[in-house]
Amino acid sequence: ADDDPNKDSGRKYINSKETELYNKSKSLYGLYQAKTAISKISTAVLVEGYTDVTGLHQNGCEIAVASGGTALTPEQCKLLQRFAKHIVIMRDNDGLDDNGNEKAGVKAALKDVDMLLMHGFKVSVVILPENEDPDSFSRKCEDINTYINENAKDALIWKATKLKDKAANDPDAVSDAIGEIAEMLFCIKDSVKRNIYEKS
């Protein structure tokens, strides 16, 4: 039945609908609790769901916030700009689907990179071990902050590598990948920073 209380028991979190009181596209879960810690180091860790934020905070990472299961929005980026210059995207490593394509966690990170670059952030990416999410991994990790610092990769280089690997030897896919990389570079408003990436 639709009102079965156990129906959604396997879900990691509930993807709530927007209401007049709760506009998730303009909110970041955990920002109120994290903003002081974020401001001190001008860095935030961006995850997907509220259980990830709760788990990270409980295990020592006090700079975690969540986009709430939605694609990152310009409004959320503007909220982050008040407190941080550097965003570390932390996503589940869902592995590949049956066709060899990235699953939701990596796809979400790929999309968020461009949005953050357009808003002038320095962006890094941490992709967790397969079948782990930020909540579960932070409970197993001896020091989650050290893990993040040691495994964060420059987001633009990470995304460019992903695109090139996916294109492999397919000329059409290579052309598409080059176009996407050019679009990423176009997202960077700082010309000095853009020139550095173009040469690397």
Q: Is the pLDDT of residue 121 over 90?
A: yes
Q: Which of 20-34, 47-61, 177-191 has the lowest mean pLDDT?
A: 177-191
Q: Residue range 69-95: average pLDDT?
A: 87
Q: Is the pLDDT of residue 6 over 50?
A: no
Check residue 92 and give its pLDDT: 79
- Residue located via tokens 């991994």: 137
13-28 pLDDT, tens digit per residue, is 555 555 554 556 778 9
Instruction: Give the separation between CA 46 and CA 78, rounded to whole angstroms.
Output: 14
Check residue 187 and give its pLDDT: 65
Report percent pLDDT > 70 for the chain.
Answer: 62
Single pTM value for the model: 0.77
Nearest to 117 by CA among 80, 164, 62: 80
Q: Is the pLDDT of residue 5 over 50?
A: no
Pairing of strands 153-154, 122-130: antiparallel
Instruction: Give the separation between CA 164 and CA 174, rounded to whole angstroms.
Output: 7
The residue among 140 and 114 whose pLDDT is bigger is 140
Check residue 78 and give its pLDDT: 95
Residue 182 has φ and ψ, to the nearest 5°, of: -60, -40
Nearest to 15 by CA among 48, 46, 57: 48
pLDDT mean across residues, the chain? 78
